[in-house]
Amino acid sequence: DTAVSQTPKYLVTQMGNDKSIKCEQNLGHDTMYWYKQDSKKFLKIMFSYNNKELIINETVPNRFSPKSPDKAHLNLHINSLELGDSAVYFCASSIRTGVRTGELFFGEGSRLTVL
C-alpha cells in the first residue's frame, strides 16, 4: 500500500518521442507536485497542483503538460523529448499547499533516459 506511487520506474526512449509518467497518492492529500532531479542531484519544482488546479509552474517548457484528473492523480506528459530531459522525475504530495507547505511525501521516482 505505497503512499505515493509512480509508473513507470524506468523509461528509455528516443529523442522526439512523446511519453507519460503517472502518479497516484492514497494519502488523501490535496496537493501534488512534480520535481525534477538532474544529474547533479539537485531537486527542482516543476509543477504543483492543489485539488486538480495548477498553482505552480516553474518556467517549465510547454512540452511538459501535467494533468490532474482528480486530486489523487497527477500525470506528467512530455512531448518531443530532448536529451536534456533525461533525469529522475519525482512525484510528491502534501496536505497543505502554498506558503505553509506541509510535510512532503515522495514517490520512488521515474528515471527517464532520452537517447
Q: Cβ of residue 46: shortest distance to another protein, in angstroms?
A: 11
Amino acid, single-letter form, for residue 76: L
| Distance (Å, whole) CA 86 – CA 104 | 24
Residue nearer to another protein on the CB measure, 49 or 90: 90
Residue nearer to another protein on the CB measure, 2 or 17: 2
Q: Cβ of residue 11: shortest distance to another protein, in angstroms?
A: 14
Residue nearer to another protein on the CB measure, 40 or 84: 40
Q: Cβ of residue 80: shortest distance to another protein, in angstroms?
A: 27
- Among the listed residues 72, 29, 76, 30, the one whose alpha carbon sits nearest the alpha carbon of residue 51: 30
Buried b (16+ CB within 10 A) or exposed e, 39-61: eeeeeeebbbbbeeeeebeeebe
Q: Cβ of residue 42: shortest distance to another protein, in angstroms?
A: 6
- Residue 6, helix vs strand vs coil: strand
Residue nearer to another protein on the CB measure, 17 or 101: 101
Q: In this structure, what C-alpha cell is assigned to residue 55? A: 498553482
Chain contacts with another protein (rule: CB under 8 A): 4, 33, 40-45, 48, 56, 58, 90, 92, 98-109, 111
